[in-house]
Amino acid sequence: MRRQLTTVAIVTSGLLASSPLLAQQDVTFQTNLLFSCTLTPSAGSLGPNGDYTELSTENTGAGGAPATIAMVALGGAATVAFSAPTITNSSVAPEISYTSLSGVSQPYTSSQSSSNPTLLTDTFTINARASDPSGFGAGSYTITTTATCSG
């Protein structure tokens, strides 16, 4: 006996759902960061020591008081630089020192200095002094340093 082999073919017609066209679109993210830093100073005052050989913000009993600078930085960390201090009506080399709430500290120096506060808002307390072994005579004395903030 012979068996007849029957082959069944399944024909797929073109009725399968056609795939949609691939759609592709880039999504981008952009920013422009601007750096801004504001310094708001408050003046200090110099007071003489007992024999007038030193003028200092730390001679508080004689009218000395430190200066302060409030700093607000936006858009990144700031660098605050202080120029070498100058004094009027004297040839001595004045000095400044400063500390800040973020922990920045600069001992007395007659040179330019800079710091990198770790906070975006900070307050610096600045002291100034000048010493003259022969004494300061009557007159008006001003110690000046220029503070600059950059990012």
**For range 21-40, the mean pLDDT:** 89
What is the pLDDT at residue 126? Answer: 98
Sorting pLDDT into bands at 50, 70 and 90, what band is 21? confident
Domain residue extents for the chain: 36-133
Confidence grade of residue 130 (pLDDT, cut at 50, 70, 90)? very high
Mean model confidence pLDDT for the chain: 90
Residue 27 has pLDDT above 70, yes or no: yes
> From start to end of 26-66, where are the E strands?
36-42, 47-48, 54-56
Q: Residues near 112 by Cβ (< 8 Å), separated by ≥ 6?
A: 81, 82, 83, 84
- Of the two residues 128 and 13, the one the predictor is more confident about is 128
Count of alpha carbons within 13 Å of 17, Cβ hemisphere only?
3
pTM above threshold 0.75: yes
